[in-house]
Structure 1
Amino acid sequence: MRVLVAEDDAAIAAGLSAGLRESGHHVDHVDSGRQADSALHDHAYDFLVLDLGLPGMDGAEVLRRLRLRGSELSVLVVTARDDVDERVRVLDLGADDYLVKPFALNEFAARTRALLRRRTHHGTPEFSVGQLRLDLPGRRAWVGAEPLELTAREFGLIEALALRQDRLISRAQLIESLCSWDQDLTDNGLDIAVHRLRRKLRGSGARVRTVRGLGYLLEEGDDAKDGA
């Protein structure tokens, strides 16, 4: 998943970003409220870690603008503000959870996993199509009872497709979901990742279908029919 960390403390941001990357997520970092508002407007994210005390624009205002745009993005607020009234205000603005600094990184990781489970599966940690089963927060996959070995890029690809099951996702959207700002993925690189994923999905009852000129979708069916 693609995560935006909006945190102006460089040490905290580095620790949070490292933990998220170790869990397989693509992470972008901004250190001001205006940068956060701009990034959220211009890019598609799956999760936001938001500090309230951002310079330039308060994190609460970033959150308010995000919800006014109709975004349902999961938001974990991290802040030194521990006043109960402030917590209530921010949760009412649309935050999904609230973590007071200082906090342990393992608690941050657990809160993140819980929010991602809630977002992707309404509390159920698995997604399935055909014989393919995915644990998106845990980044594990099976075909029937057998583990399916996927590279980080292949899992990121199937994750992006699974989150939009039976809906088209364009090549541009796929490339954006697979990359942070400091990474790059060419059209040829995407084609190679799709080809390798299709090969691993053979016999699973799930396939990645190409809709010419529009994009891809993950659906139940015979994956061999799409020229894998």
Structure 2
Amino acid sequence: MKALIVEDNDNLARSMASTLADAGFSITVAHDGVKAKHALEQGGFDLLVLDLGLPELDGISLLRQLRHRHDRIPVLIISARDTLDQRILGLEEGADDYLCKPFSLDEVSARARALVRRAKHFGGDSLQCGPLEFFPDARELRIDGEPVALHRRELEVIEYLMINQNRLVSKDQIIDRLSTLDEAVTYSAVETYISRIRKKIGQDFGLKTVRGLGYYLDTRKRDV
């Protein structure tokens, strides 16, 4: 899961980034509205945590532009503007949730996870694909009920494949999913993650490679 935090207070941005990283998010931080706009135009985020009082481009204007181009990314507003009118305005402009400063970082984490689950239609606490079951909150993959030891990047790849099961996912999409401003991911790294996932799961679970195009998780019933 990838989250963009847009907050001009560096200390608060760092605190939220650390909390959401502990919850399994890959984090990008922008300190003004223009940089946030450019990051969002690149796509690939699962959540936007948005302050309203931003330099360059304020949060409401950024939200309006986002919804105008029909980007449905979940948006959690965090703001010191705690009047009822401001909360109503934020929600009417397309925000999915609103937290007033000061707030608990644990509450930010809980609301962020809930928004992403709802947006991805998890329909519960886990994603299922044949014998595989992924628990987003616990960052754990199980096969037939038994945990599988995967590293963080491997978990992110299998989660993305399970969210997009029966759809082709390109290497570029996986790279966009995993990369941050501080940590780039290469094609060879993606191939390594896929190879490790196959070895650790140790059975045919429907992961297909389409040469030159990417991968897909085939959950259709197969003849036996």
TM-score by length of 1: 0.92
SS of the equivalent of 2:175 reads helix
Partner residue, 2:218: 219
Partner residue, 1:53: 53
Distance 1:95 1:208 in 2: 36
**Do residues 17 (structure 1) and 17 (structure 2) align?**
yes
- Preserved contact between residue 78 and residue 100 of structure 1 (Cα < 8 Å): yes
Deviation at 1:123, TM superposition (A): 4.1
Distance 1:120 1:201 in 2: 24
Deviation at 1:220, TM superposition (A): 2.4
Partner residue, 2:209: 210
SS of the equivalent of 1:39 reads helix
- Preserved contact between residue 24 and residue 137 of structure 2 (Cα < 8 Å): no
Distance 1:113 1:121 in 2: 12
Deviation at 1:76, TM superposition (A): 0.5
- Preserved contact between residue 117 and residue 137 of structure 1 (Cα < 8 Å): no
Deviation at 1:23, TM superposition (A): 2.0
RMSD: 1.6
AA aligned opposite 2:10: A
Partner residue, 1:155: 155
Task: State the Cα deviation string for residues 20-79 of structure 1 (Å, max 9, x = none).
Answer: 112222111111111111110123211110001111111011111111111111111000
Q: Give 5+ residue unaligned stretches, structure 1.
A: 223-228
Deviation at 1:202, TM superposition (A): 2.9
Distance 2:124 2:144 in 1: 18
**Do residues 100 (structure 1) and 100 (structure 2) align?**
yes
- Preserved contact between residue 201 and residue 207 of structure 1 (Cα < 8 Å): no
Task: State the Cα deviation string for residues 166-195 of structure 1 (Å, max 9, x = none).
Answer: 111111110111121100222211111110
AA aligned opposite 1:217: Y
Deviation at 1:117, TM superposition (A): 1.8
Distance 1:122 1:91 in 2: 23
- Preserved contact between residue 74 and residue 119 of structure 2 (Cα < 8 Å): yes
AA aligned opposite 1:154: E
SS of the equivalent of 1:155 reads helix
AA aligned opposite 2:165: Q
Distance 1:31 1:16 in 2: 13
SS of the equivalent of 2:62 reads helix
TM-score by length of 2: 0.93
Distance 1:188 1:122 in 2: 30
Superposed counterparts of 1:4-43, under 5 Å? 4-43=4-43
- Preserved contact between residue 63 and residue 95 of structure 1 (Cα < 8 Å): yes
